[in-house]
Amino acid sequence: MHAPTLLKQADYAQAAIQYILSQYPQGTSIILMGHSMGGIVATALLARGESKAPIRAVITMSTPALLSPVRFDRRMEDVYTSIRNTQLGLLQSDQAHIPLVAICGGATDPQVGSEACAIPFNKAPYRRTVYTTSAEGVWTGVDHLAMVWCHQVRSLLSRVALELANTPPQNTVTTLQKWLMVDATQVKHDPHLVDLTNMKPVYVPVDGRLRISEPSAGLHLLPVPPPTEELASGAHSFTLFVLGGNVYNHRSEKSFLNDTFKVKILSCDASPPSVTLPSCRTLGGEVKLIPNPPRDAPFPAKEGVPETEGLFVFEASVPASKKEKWVGVLVEEGVQERVDRGRI
């Protein structure tokens, strides 16, 4: 790459931003997205202390963040030193705090490999790398050119931009984290008893499997097997798959449009003989979203896989006990799709 040309492009981008913002009310900010070397131009704007453009966030796509693929003059070294300092949050400028996210296609991109595209992780200022294989609604590698027209990527980044436009600046990092980082969310164990008044629990047989095709409000109890010689860890693994519902307020976009059911997972102990219902508390574990493409269709589908098709997975470790214990699956109103199955 030719350093003077790259810097001229940064000058032009800065002037264009200033002009565009002059047509909008004061206080309007802008989100920069750059593909390939365009991402270097966008990042270069953050490195400029004299830039007064109110940038909300910078998102690069398939950008060679580590080094230039081809260098035509030694001044590119200075450009990349400045870029590297921006990535590391070492710059002393008014724009050093602006979030920077790198979207990378992974092994599918032969022009800009994973190592060259990734930026160093940092909490403050916010710096993250997102691979398309783990991005919600994408879940596949994307090559260098396809990054700008891939339906799944466009849909995701459009959603991020719209969400940022509708949230205050102090929530920028939270919004980016919510839509771009698909991490398992921890659910903490709650020692307080859950109110099960008027509940009529359904007891699943030992070694049985729970499958609810048409969920309705109710409590389903799966017995926790006692310790065995083969169970070296002293704990069972519990997994629950939920499609079309809401797990501890984690929901797909489809759930916002439909009156779907809610699911909570409980740890239940036998109560005194005078009490008909078991004593139940929130079971700690983790919730994550995984792809759920149609069985008989290619993945990814030609029209793209929408983020609404995600399947929630709840996983928890349940200690084996000689006492009578259950894992409770509490389904709350209303009713739409289905809970698939949970088993120990």
Encode pLDDT of 286-332 as tens digits. Answer: 888 777 666 666 655 555 545 445 678 899 989 888 888 999 999 98
Domain segments of the chain: what residues? Answer: 3-180, 185-343
pLDDT at 21 over 60: yes
Amino acid sitting at position 327: V
Report the pLDDT averaged over residues 278-284. Answer: 92
What pLDDT is recorded for position 118? 93
Question: Which helix (H) or strand (E) element contains residue 211?
Answer: strand 210-212
What pLDDT is recorded for position 297? 62
What pLDDT is recorded for position 19? 92
Q: Bigger pLDDT: 117 or 251?
A: 117
Q: Bigger pLDDT: 152 or 101?
A: 101
**Residue 340 pLDDT class (50, 70, 90 cuts):** very low
Whether the full predicted model's pTM is greater than 0.85, yes or no, is: no
- Most confident of the ranges 75-79, 161-165, 232-236, 271-275: 161-165
Percent of the chain with pLDDT strictly greater than 70? 81
What pLDDT is recorded for position 193? 92
pLDDT tens track for 260-279: 788 999 999 987 766 778 89
Question: Which residues are catalytic, by number?
Answer: 36
Structure tokens that stand for 267 in this block: 């740890």
**CATH code given to domain 3-180:** 3.40.50.1820
Structure tokens that stand for 43 in this block: 């990042």
Report the pLDDT averaged over residues 119-124. Answer: 89
Structure tokens that stand for 150 in this block: 């891939």
Amino acid sitting at position 248: Y
What pLDDT is recorded for position 259? 46
Mean pLDDT of the chain: 82
Listed range (81-95, 118-132, 312-326) with the worst mean pLDDT: 81-95
What pLDDT is recorded for position 152? 86
Report the pLDDT averaged over residues 62-72. Answer: 84
Question: Which helix (H) or strand (E) element contains residue 151?
Answer: helix 151-165
Given a contact cutoff of 8 angstroms between Cβ atoms, the answer to whether 320 and 224 are in contact is yes
Structure tokens that stand for 178 in this block: 């919510």
Percent of the chain with pLDDT strictly greater than 90? 35
What pLDDT is recorded for position 337? 40
Please state, in angstroms and rounded to a whole number, the distance separating the CA atoms of residues 142 and 279. 49
Q: How many CA atoms lie within 13 A of 68 on its CB side?
A: 22
Listed range (2-11, 30-39, 55-64, 305-314) with the worst mean pLDDT: 305-314
